[in-house]
Amino acid sequence: MTRISRLFATLKQNHQKGLIAYLTAGDPTPERTPALVEALERGGADLIELGVPFSDPIADGPVIQKSSQVALSHGAHVGSALEMARAIRARVDLPIVAMTYANPILRFGAERFASEAAASGVDGVIITDTPPEELPGMWAPLRAAGLATILLVTPLTRADRFERILRDASGYVYVVSRTGVTGAGEAARGLDELLLDLKTRTRLPVAVGFGIETPKHVRAYRGKADGVVVGSALVRRVDEAGPASAPAVAAAFLKSLSEAC
Amino acid sequence: MAKWSEQYPDATGHFGSYGGRFVAETLMSPLDELARVYDEARQDPSFQAELAELLRNFVGRPTPLTFAGRLTEAWGGARVYLKREDLCHTGAHKINNTLGQGLLTRRMGKPRVIAETGAGQHGVATATVCALLGLRCEVYMGEEDMRRQSPNVFRMRLMGATVHGVSSGSRTLKDAINEAMRDWSANVGHTHYILGSVLGPDPFPRMVRDFQAVIGRELRAQALERTGKLPDCIVACVGGGSNAIGAFFEFIDEPAVRMVGVEAGGFGIETGKHAARFTDPSVGVLHGTRTHVLQDEHGLIRETHSVSAGLDYPAVGPEHSLLFEAGRVEYKAVSDEEALSAFSEICRIEGIIPALESAHAVAYARTLARELGKDRTLVINLSGRGDKDLDIVSGQLLKV
């Protein structure tokens, strides 16, 4: 059993939702990232999505764009993000999912990325701009290295794509609550139906992300999803707090959400 | 051998190993839908008839093929002809595509259009078509480009478009595309993104190519009529690559026709400040497509430089990548300085003020004309006119 499947099995037993927390590797600095993840764990995070910064994050809103720029300005890249993952793995037992775009992985080399990510204690990957149809040559080594390939479903995904997505998805299914880029915003109409529909199609856990910021948002998915993802709302608080206060602020913020899980 | 046009792209939008759809899941079903609507429209005689009518009576097509007698004489080589896309309404080839996609937007029943623009020519062409068809128009443009191409910002606003300045990254075309794609992924239900070049996820590269291919079709007929044969060589500038594909596409399966794409050499290849993707070729994924891209060792996209905003872009259309790999088109780079010198020359001796983008093609044409020799014909695709560039050029030429 993988760390990710163990996590969701335990959560299910306890009738709880998982709290998935996104952080950009290298924001505020590469040195501070591992300690920040530790703080997230203290705040109740169940799984970490570790963003590997890319220069042109077209699926991200202003908060994560800015965070990526901060990380890049400190020289963060795929290799250093994997080093950060290794340091994080030495401190916590949470599942770690690397989240990035196709180009940095291709440049690093898909096979090399797969083996080094697995060796660094990474459990899964999300490649935001790569649907399952593209680059079978990239997905295959990731699977072979035992990494979960987490795919997205959105309110605009037509039913004819579900089968393809669910065939290649592992770990969990990431349901995007609305159209658009990462950040604040109301969930789309029809999201509840989408979540119900997915439950009939897959046994994989389903996590909802985009626009999650308050305990009320978290509670809205009670009984409908197995996890919620908090990204921009967390990153914004980390950036506003400044490097020294970030761990305490992030932990307190997550605690408020975790209690609603 | 199967014809290029029938082979590429394949059913999944790939040109060999290039192209495809590298987008977030949100855009996958909308792209399926766009491809379906486009394929229907393509086969629909009424769509094609309306497009042809507008190209003729609104854009002013066919554009002339002008014999450049004085350039021919000055260069002392091949007979030089100019395919005059600069004479299109709005001043560049861009409107061939925006008109097609504008009609498609109306067919999809979407009331709002967004576009990116670099030099502003595509933004102006989009704003124009939106005014013509009664569509709401918003254009994303890098702040650096808004500064250096300010006449075009004013033109867009005159025609009722909203221009959003983009302040991220290098504040140029790449960043404008990032922002347009973000907008589109949020508003795709009621918005069509009129992408301005043969870039982006499928179906854009083939759709934009098809709308621009009118250039090459006209050129074939005009060359046959005027010279009794196909051109020996065609040269075009390549930013994203839409005017070049438009001119080349008709001739890809004509092995006797040599084709040359000219990229922006900026301050010079050796300075690293350029937009010449094929000089030290490296394949990557940017803006939804797998193609040649300027990137660093970590896969981060590099900043580019060109005096011409329309060529100042780190990636290139995926079909160009395949044409490069297949050796079917040669790609060369021309520096800012060479482009500016060609700009002055063609102004002075032909009475034509070209866009700085097109001036890159003119600059390399001089080399080609001599290489080809007399009795050969060389066609320069003069993709746009230079009114928008007068401020830049006066500044630059004063420096030189």
- The answer to whether residues A162 and B28 touch, using CB atoms and an 8 Å cutoff, is no
**Contact check, Cβ <8 Å, A107/B298:** yes
Contacts 24+ apart (CB under 8 A), A161-164: A161/B28, A161/B29, A162/A198, A162/A201, A164/A132, A164/A133
Give chain B positions within 8 Å (CB) of A158.
Answer: 29, 32
| A29-43, A81-95, A154-168, B322-336: least confidently modelled range | A154-168
Task: Considering the candidates B116, B144, B218, B357, report the single residue annotated as catalytic.
Answer: B116
Write the DSSP symbol of residue B384: B
**Whether the Cβ atoms of residue B222 and residue B41 lie closer than 8 Å to each other:** no
pLDDT recorded at residue B396: 79
pLDDT score recorded for residue B2: 84
Is the CB of residue A109 less than 8 Å away from at least one CB of chain B?
A: no
Q: Please tell me the predicted confidence (pLDDT) of residue B397.
A: 73
Where exactly are the structural domains of chain A? Answer: 3-146+208-259
Number of CB atoms found within 10 A of residue A64's CB: 24
Q: For A3-146+208-259, CATH number? A: 3.20.20.70
Of B29, B174, B288, the CB nearest to A161: B29
- At A1 the pLDDT is 85
Q: Which tens digit of pLDDT belongs to each residue from B350-373?
A: 999 999 999 999 999 999 999 999
Chain B interface, Cβ < 8 Å to A: 12, 20-30, 32, 168-169, 174, 178, 181-182, 185-189, 283-288, 290, 293, 295, 297-301
Q: Which of B242, B308, B358, B383 is catalytic?
A: B383
For residue range B369-394, what is the model confidence (pLDDT) as tens digits?
999 999 999 999 999 999 999 988 98
The full length of chain B comes to: 400
**Three-class SS of B361-379:** HHHHHHHHHHHHCCCCEEE
**What percent of chain B has pLDDT above 70?**
99
pLDDT of residue A22: 98
Strands of B112-117's sheet in order across: B162-166, B136-142, B112-117, B191-193
Q: Are A27 and A70 in contact (CB under 8 A)?
A: yes
Q: For the CA atoms of A203, A210, A50, A129, what is the dihedral angle to 10 degrees?
A: 80
If you search the block for the tokens 């006066």, which residue do you land on?
B394
Residue segments in chain B with a per-residue pLDDT below the cut of 50:
none
Can you name the residues that pair with B15 across neighbouring β-strands? B18
What ipTM is given for this predicted complex?
0.96
Predicted confidence at residue B399, as pLDDT, reads: 65
- pLDDT reported for residue B170: 84
User: pTM (2 decimals)?
Assistant: 0.97
Show the tokens assigned to A56: 């042109």
pLDDT digits (tens, 9 = 90+) for B160-189: 999 999 998 889 999 999 999 999 999 999
pLDDT of residue B395: 83
- Length, in residues, of chain A: 261
The tokens for A127 are 């490649």
Is residue B3 among the annotated active site residues?
A: no
pLDDT at B277: 98
Name the A residues in 79-98 with CB < 8 Å from any B CB: 79
B301 beta partners: B295
A181 contacts chain B (CB < 8 A) = yes
> Rounded CA gap, A18 and A92, in Å?
16
Q: Would you please indicate which residues of A are annotated as catalytic (active-site) residues?
A: 49, 60
Asked if the Cβ–Cβ distance from A134 to B32 is below 8 Å, we say no
Taking CB atoms and an 8 Å cut-off, how many pairs form between chains A and B?
117
Report the pLDDT value the prediction gives residue A184, as an integer from 0 to 100.
84
Q: Evaluate the omega torsion of the peptide bond into residue B201 and state whether it is cis, within 30 degrees of 0.
A: no
Q: Give the pLDDT confidence score for residue B226 in this predicted structure.
A: 97
The reply to whether B94 belongs to the active site is yes
Nearest beta carbon to residue B299 from set A65, A104, A130: A104
| Chain B residues close to A179, C-beta within 8 Å | 26, 185-189
Segment holding A98, helix H or strand E: strand A96-100
